[in-house]
Structure 1
Amino acid sequence: MAGNTSRVTKRSLNACTRCRRQKIKCSGLQPCDSCNKRKLTCIFDDREQKILVTKGYLDELQQKLARLQRNDNDEPVPLSPEYGEAISPGLKDHNDAPDITQSSPNDKEDVQSNQDIQQELEDPASGLTNPLSTGPPAFMSAENGRTFYLGTSSNWSFTRRVLSLTHEFIYQEALPTGALAFDGATYDLGWDGLRTPQRPDIPTVPTFDHAMYLINTVKFRCGQLYHLFDEAEFMGGLHDFYSRSKPNATSSLWYIHFLLMLAFGKGFVQHKLQGNKPPGAEFFVKALQLLPDISVLHQEPIESTEIMCCIALYLQALDCRSSAHNYIGSAMRMAMAEGMHTQMPVEYLGEDLVQRCRKIWWTVYILDREMTSLMGLPQSVSDDHINTLLPAFPGSAQRTAGINMNIKISRIIAEISSAVYAIDGRLNRNFLLRTKSALASIARLADGLHEGFPLHLDRSMDGVSRTSAYLHLLYHRCIVLATRPLLFCFLKIRFESPEHCLEALNTSRNVRNLIQMCIDSSQQMINILHSLQSEDLLETFLPFDLESVFVSTVVLLMAPAIDARWSYPAWLEKAYLIFEEIIDNGNLIAKFRRSELQLLDELLSCFPQDNSRCLSAPISFPTSILNNPHTSVQLASSFPPSAHALGNDLLTDPGPTNDDEYNLTSGLTAAQIMAVADSIESIDTEWMSNAMIQHSIW
């Protein structure tokens, strides 16, 4: 009969952290059965265990606490004269050091345990890393033999890494670079770089009316967010120049500035190219040939800084990213040498000069932040050293607000570059926590951006504001920049272990939500650009609209390779329509970018999937379709919702459920972004660590 007695399972005296959180039975083993089955890190928190100690030991601890409290009450904590740090009482003198010989063994074990945990979190050698910013620096050689550094946060570098990873997986060989466009290789300025030209050609300047048209075009395209010239001084020089019976070329800084404005104006209005020569090249080259050496430019630093901003922005438009970064860096240093980053005294310098310097400084600051990020390089100037005020625009408070919002987004770009893309940035714990911090910073801007700069994408009231569109595009690019390293990681996991990729991804809803957020922002950027295209406001010369559609399309091509449910062929068609528009307006860079995306699409289509995408080449729609308002509405309503597709996940918008209504929104709210950020907990970092170890991503 004894053998027939039912056995009673003894409950474990302790449960691991995960089982306790989910309120499930824990085996008590190390690792426990549940964590071992799911291949998760099993952690037991010893602080929850019940232990027996003597009353004398508790009395001794209470006496130590009372002595420490008396010391704190009797003596104020002094400050170190050198660093201003608090010095603990009793440590001011070696003879007053507290007696640690009486500390219990348990105290020592606690201290050692805390030190081990701290070392585990801080020691880069003990952790995993962001594959985009760790290990040996990445380089790629062009067909001419020149080698280029692949910056960590660069959009250009990111696409090269994805292309290389995919090509090497499919063909087991390195990606050929002959068909890829590299820095400064798209356009030909027809200049060897010498300051003294072989033929002293003077470009024919347009008539006064034509020049005014080109300059006003530059003001409309750039003037709301960038300060490229002082209107009073520049227009005074313009009238003086054309008041002569026969305007002649001069070597003055004003004339150089004037040539740059003509180059920009031609870039905005001229859409027919002569071979691979960019519009306005003759004016731009002559300006560079006449530009004095930097040692001479310092004699007139105010206008010289404006000129270098113009040169940097024009070079960026030609995809000469490295040269543009060097010029904006020179402008930054010249501006700082003049104290523009400080609160310049109005009573000493005058209101007009101070206001001009503030406009120059924040233009340099914004361009430097963005160009540095596009290069994938560390930011060179800390915000701790900047205390200048915003410029004032009488009668245009919205313009000041726009610059203020642009500055805030530029600071987030710098934060993401220094945190998420930090050297040897760890992917298991610090990486996700840094991503959480970056998303929290982004979320703080969301409501202010939507309220202060509404988009009106439905066009029911007003047209789309070019300034609002630019700020929203930059905002969504921040979200993509912060979250796309996860997309890269899971693409690698998919290549290495396709049968386990979805199982691993579905294990953490929070990590999946981060990737969905990246996809959603990509869709929102395409939606904004499509609205600009419909109103003929798409920027086809400056590079920033092209950068947005390029970044978005890469994400939408990668996503279905990881999970077929993330396939949005209609959004890809919409993106290719935008590419076609930019290409038709004479932008050769867009042509190369689209060909790279087509190559990536073809490579990813070679990888077996459960549900292959239908789109492997761009689909062109006649222009008449976009110009027809009824057809345009039907086309827009055919695109699937973005975050609305998340069902009951954290990104779900409790608002309208109609797809058409949702497509007219401007993206995630601050509450939605914060919900995703706040959801990142230790269990996600544990899961991430396990996934990275399994697939050797570091």
Structure 2
Amino acid sequence: MLGSPSVMRDDDISIPFPEIKPGDESQSAFAIHAILSSHLGKILDAIYGVHDQQRNFLLEVRSILSRIAETYVILRQHLPLDVQQPSQPLSRESATLHLLLHQCVILTVRPVLFSLLKPLLASNAPIPDARHSSSPFESMLKMCIESAVQILKIMAILKQQMMCDIFLPYDIDALFSAAFALILIDIIRPANELLWDLPQVMNLLGEFVSRRVAPAQAYRSDLVQILELHTKLRGNNSRQHQDTGNMFNVSLVPGLDEYAITHPGQLGISPDPLWSNIRDGNGVGDPAHPNTILSVIDDLNVEGFDVSDTDMLDNAWMWDMDDMSTNI
């Protein structure tokens, strides 16, 4: 896959897409990578590009998620990946494609995360127990959590099998996207316990930094900033410096226990049911099933749901982490 572009737009292609050939893993991987690159180009253009303010964000999201769901069926058929068997040899091509697909899911819904975060930065922000979102957003958040956790599971296996890529950006981009999304969602809808391996993420980023992978330092800095924001919004009411009782050894990363996300949540706040599948271990083997994505699309078709109320089109503020962390 070396030399193949990470992004291509449909308008850039003047020849037929490569065909998937059953039994030919290399050809199938190339063909699916081309399809996923097309999806990523559509996401960057339709979701993050500069457009007229009247564009229909909701229709774009539905269209992209439909394409991703179709591609996921094809990907699982021709290049399956079983994260429940970490000791089994992993196909590097398959891992790369699964990482890219789940990253496409996260990138599609990330503006929703920022739109739900924005009201919490106001001086009269609601307390966590009152942070309810509509049904379409509820299913979006669940889908995003599941894809992010799937990315972390794949990266853990790649690290265990010493297959992490330090040359091409696929691994570190996916790792950052997943961790960033999980921290954002924990601000919006607190899990009240650490349900994913943040220490391993920070350790792996540290390894990327030590190997001088270009974006690693910036990614680690951005994660630290969002962790600081999480602590500012939640930390004052957290039961700091108590043992969380979870399976993740926070002490492995110096200074990580200073952040509220690594400690039990606010007193009197029940764990958010949004995280129940991850907490209970349900569906973690194959979380981003096409039916999960299709359920989000069905929820977005609810009559009367108006995404413009979320101010998602007014997105100039969402990229400045310094403003986010200081203006609260």
TM range (shorter): 0.7 to 0.9
Please name the residue that 1:399 is paired with: 26
Contact 1:569 1:613 in 2 (8 A): no
The answer to whether residue 39 in structure 2 is matched with residue 412 in structure 1 is yes
- Comparing 556-565 and 525-534, the one that deviates more: 556-565
Please name the residue that 2:64 is paired with: 438
How far residue 405 of structure 1 moved from its aligned partner, in angstroms, is: 0.5
- Report the AA paired with residue 448 of structure 1: I
How far residue 505 of structure 1 moved from its aligned partner, in angstroms, is: 3.2
Q: 2:132 aligns with which of 505, 508, 513?
A: 505
> What CA distance in whole angstroms lies between the structure 1 residues aligned with 2:291 and 2:274?
18
- Report the AA paired with residue 47 of structure 2: V
- Report the AA paired with residue 168 of structure 2: L
- Report the AA paired with residue 433 of structure 1: L
How far residue 491 of structure 1 moved from its aligned partner, in angstroms, is: 1.1
Please name the residue that 1:571 is paired with: 197
Please name the residue that 2:2 is paired with: 226
> What CA distance in whole angstroms lies between the structure 1 residues aligned with 2:104 and 2:66?
12
Contact 2:131 2:189 in 1 (8 A): no
The answer to whether residue 303 in structure 2 is matched with residue 677 in structure 1 is no
What's the Cα RMSD here? 3.7
Please name the residue that 1:479 is paired with: 105
The answer to whether residue 288 in structure 2 is matched with residue 668 in structure 1 is yes
User: What is the SS of the residue equivalent to 2:109?
Assistant: helix
> What CA distance in whole angstroms lies between the structure 2 residues aligned with 1:473 and 1:669?
14
> What CA distance in whole angstroms lies between the structure 2 residues aligned with 1:666 and 1:425?
38
> What CA distance in whole angstroms lies between the structure 2 residues aligned with 1:484 and 1:500?
22
Map of 1:3-402 to 2, 5 A cutoff? 225-226=1-2, 363=4, 366-369=5-8, 379=9, 382=11, 386-388=14-16, 390=18, 397-402=24-29
CA gap 1:494/1:426 in 2 versus in 1, 3 angstroms: farther
- Comparing 454-463 and 444-453, the one that deviates more: 454-463
Please name the residue that 1:689 is paired with: 308
Gaps of 5+ in 1: 1-224, 228-362, 370-378, 623-643
How far residue 445 of structure 1 moved from its aligned partner, in angstroms, is: 1.1
How far residue 418 of structure 1 moved from its aligned partner, in angstroms, is: 2.6
How far residue 588 of structure 1 moved from its aligned partner, in angstroms, is: 5.9
> What CA distance in whole angstroms lies between the structure 2 residues aligned with 1:620 and 1:541?
29
Give the alignment's TM-score, normalised by structure 2.
0.74
CA gap 1:460/1:595 in 2 versus in 1, 3 angstroms: closer
Contact 1:530 1:578 in 2 (8 A): no
Higher relative contact order (CA 8 A, sep 6+): 2
How far residue 667 of structure 1 moved from its aligned partner, in angstroms, is: 2.8
Larger Rg over CA atoms: 1
CA gap 1:614/1:559 in 2 versus in 1, 3 angstroms: farther
> What CA distance in whole angstroms lies between the structure 2 residues aligned with 1:434 and 1:367?
21
- Report the AA paired with residue 574 of structure 1: Q
User: What is the SS of the residue equivalent to 1:539?
Assistant: coil
The answer to whether residue 179 in structure 2 is matched with residue 553 in structure 1 is yes
Please name the residue that 2:265 is paired with: none
> What CA distance in whole angstroms lies between the structure 1 residues aligned with 2:29 and 2:283?
26
CA gap 1:560/1:391 in 2 versus in 1, 3 angstroms: closer
Contact 1:511 1:684 in 2 (8 A): no
CA gap 1:689/1:396 in 2 versus in 1, 3 angstroms: closer
Please name the residue that 1:190 is paired with: none
User: What is the SS of the residue equivalent to 1:511?
Assistant: helix
Please name the residue that 1:582 is paired with: 208
Please name the residue that 2:120 is paired with: 494
Contact 2:135 2:299 in 1 (8 A): no
Contact 1:457 1:531 in 2 (8 A): yes
The answer to whether residue 95 in structure 2 is matched with residue 469 in structure 1 is yes
- Report the AA paired with residue 390 of structure 1: P
Contact 1:556 1:572 in 2 (8 A): no
Contact 1:435 1:482 in 2 (8 A): yes
Name the % identity: 23
Please name the residue that 2:85 is paired with: 459
How far residue 444 of structure 1 moved from its aligned partner, in angstroms, is: 0.6
Matched residues, number: 289
User: What is the SS of the residue equivalent to 2:50?
Assistant: coil
Residues 342-396 of structure 1: CA deviation (Å, up to 9, x unaligned): xxxxxxxxxxxxxxxxxxxxx3xx3453xxxxxxxxx5x605x522463899x97
> What CA distance in whole angstroms lies between the structure 1 residues aligned with 2:80 and 2:40?
22
CA gap 1:545/1:519 in 2 versus in 1, 3 angstroms: same
- Report the AA paired with residue 142 of structure 2: Q
CA gap 1:226/1:566 in 2 versus in 1, 3 angstroms: farther
- Report the AA paired with residue 591 of structure 1: Q
How far residue 469 of structure 1 moved from its aligned partner, in angstroms, is: 0.5
How far residue 682 of structure 1 moved from its aligned partner, in angstroms, is: 4.8
- Report the AA paired with residue 300 of structure 2: I
> What CA distance in whole angstroms lies between the structure 1 residues aligned with 2:166 and 2:19?
29
Please name the residue that 1:535 is paired with: 161
Contact 2:149 2:196 in 1 (8 A): no
CA gap 1:691/1:458 in 2 versus in 1, 3 angstroms: closer
> What CA distance in whole angstroms lies between the structure 1 residues aligned with 2:79 and 2:240?
37
Please name the residue that 2:217 is paired with: 591
How far residue 608 of structure 1 moved from its aligned partner, in angstroms, is: 4.0
- Report the AA paired with residue 289 of structure 2: T
Residues 504-530 of structure 1: CA deviation (Å, up to 9, x unaligned): 633x12212212222221111111001
- Report the AA paired with residue 164 of structure 2: L
> What CA distance in whole angstroms lies between the structure 1 residues aligned with 2:216 and 2:86?
31
Residues 309-344 of structure 1: CA deviation (Å, up to 9, x unaligned): xxxxxxxxxxxxxxxxxxxxxxxxxxxxxxxxxxxx
Q: 1:519 aligns with which of 137, 140, 145?
A: 145
> What CA distance in whole angstroms lies between the structure 1 residues aligned with 2:303 and 2:192?
24
